[in-house]
């Protein structure tokens, strides 16, 4: 069977793209290809489960626009289809005077991004929301929430397949390479050949490698960063009501460890951010010679390391020390003890890193011949997934003249 469109990657962006394309083009036969036995196995299933407000992103950027629009659409989707979620709100808290200018900057950015209901709050007002937090000032963001992203991914695929029974999902089927013919492509997979007129790559941690296989001359490279989580034990869960974030340092490309109440009631603490020696390396000792060699022979990696050397050392020390991890959490909740936290899961973030070590690239989606490539879609891509699906659908309609 020849498919009209094949989507490579069964994370939430791939699922949302399948869903949106099938709505727009109900007669097209679309294939979703996923190398794992389950959908949303990697970034989509290992993230913090937060519905982001769009607070941090540069006004006018694709991240800001798609996060805002995607958040509204995701919440409506969850309501309509019974996905577990809760718009519980979050606080961002300053614990030191030197953080106040950055707190003000974040607030003004949120105002420019039209984040509904955000407001500056005093330390006393923070305590009304999160009684165990000690701080000097904060921001309240009422539209931030939590959701079951795995459940949302599965529902998007279910709804898409109900539109056209000829469309398919093939799990445990890895994309190997592609051979382009005049009017279609032959995908070589771990389960044989697949013919498709058009391709959409939503391949996350392998976006750069698959782009190069498709003939794109990509200067940037995906460099993986692992984030480790702890979680509160049962007797300490009352110390966190919803979501608590620190003021992020603008010189560091990650948000810092924070507290997240998940939809199952568990309280996660984290993640940190350390270089991963394997693109799917969820354990501290995971190692891939190819992944490590590629990352450590890339100039952008070293420029990032050298410009963030103190942060990097601190993050690595914290990754291997429960006491240091606890110390970072105690900046916001001083009453936490070693007995209150236990090691939990980890995730790996696909970060498209420029040659000069810059991690601040926007969402990046490019057209190449008969393909569309999602080259960079880190956080808030899960929140923005339905909006990204809309965007890709418009690009497909225009570039492929459907």
Going from N- to C-terminal start, the domains of the chain cover 2-45+150-219+362-399, 90-142, 221-232+250-360
Q: Name the CATH superfamily, with its identifier, for domain 2-45+150-219+362-399.
A: FAD/NAD(P)-binding domain (3.50.50.60)
pLDDT in tens, 67-88: 999 999 999 999 999 999 999 9
Average pLDDT, the chain: 95
pLDDT at 361: 80
254 pLDDT exceeds 80?
A: no
CATH no. for 221-232+250-360: 3.30.9
pLDDT at 313: 84
pLDDT at 322: 94
144 pLDDT exceeds 80?
A: yes
* Global confidence as pTM: 0.96
Per-residue tokens: 259: 């507290």
pLDDT at 253: 65
Contacts of 31 (CB under 8 A, 6+ apart): 3, 5, 6, 7, 167, 168, 169, 170, 194, 196
- When pLDDT is cut at 50, 70 and 90, the band that residue 32 belongs to is very high
User: How far apart are the C-alpha atoms of 204 and 220, rounded to whole Å?
Assistant: 14
Share of the chain above pLDDT 90, in %: 88
311 pLDDT exceeds 90?
A: no
């Amino acid at each position: 069977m020849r498919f009209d469109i094949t989507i490579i990657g069964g994370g939430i962006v791939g699922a949302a793209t399948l869903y949106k394309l099938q709505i727009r083009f109900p007669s097209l036969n679309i294939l979703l290809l996923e190398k794992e036995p389950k959908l949303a196995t990697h970034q989509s299933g290992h993230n913090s489960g937060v519905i982001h407000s769009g607070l941090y992103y540069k006004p006018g950027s694709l991240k800001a626009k798609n996060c805002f629009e995607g958040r509204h659409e995701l919440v409506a989707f969850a309501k309509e289809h019974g996905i577990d979620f809760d718009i519980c709100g979050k606080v961002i808290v300053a614990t030191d005077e030197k953080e106040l200018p950055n707190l003000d900057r974040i607030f003004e950015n949120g105002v420019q991004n039209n984040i509904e209901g955000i407001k500056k709050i005093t330390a006393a007002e923070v305590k009304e929301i999160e009684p165990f937090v000690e701080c000097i000032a904060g921001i309240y963001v009422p539209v931030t929430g939590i959701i079951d992203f795995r459940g949302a991914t599965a529902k998007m695929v279910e709804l898409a397949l109900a539109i056209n029974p000829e469309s398919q999902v093939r799990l445990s089927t890895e994309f190997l390479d592609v051979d382009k013919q005049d009017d279609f492509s032959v995908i070589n997979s771990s389960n044989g050949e697949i013919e498709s007129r058009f391709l959409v790559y939503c391949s996350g941690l392998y976006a750069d490698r698959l782009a190069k296989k498709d003939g794109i001359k990509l200067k940037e490279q995906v460099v993986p960063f692992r984030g480790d989580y702890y979680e509160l034990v049962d007797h300490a869960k009352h110390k966190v009501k919803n979501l608590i974030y620190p003021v992020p340092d603008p010189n560091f490309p990650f948000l810092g460890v924070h507290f997240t109440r998940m939809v199952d009631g568990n309280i996660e603490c984290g993640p940190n951010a350390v270089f991963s020696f394997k693109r799917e390396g969820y354990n501290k000792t995971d190692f891939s010679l190819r992944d490590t060699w590629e990352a450590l022979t890339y100039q952008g990696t070293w420029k990032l390391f050298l410009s963030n050397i103190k942060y990097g050392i601190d993050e690595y020390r914290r990754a291997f020390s429960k006491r240091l991890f606890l110390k970072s959490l105690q900046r916001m909740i001083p009453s936490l003890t070693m007995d209150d936290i236990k090691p939990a899961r980890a995730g790996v973030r696909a970060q498209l890193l420029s040659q000069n070590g810059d991690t601040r690239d926007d969402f990046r989606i490019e057209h190449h011949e008969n393909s569309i490539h999602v080259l960079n879609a880190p956080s808030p891509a899960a929140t923005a997934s339905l909006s990204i699906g809309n965007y890709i659908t418009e690009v497909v309609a225009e570039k492929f003249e459907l």
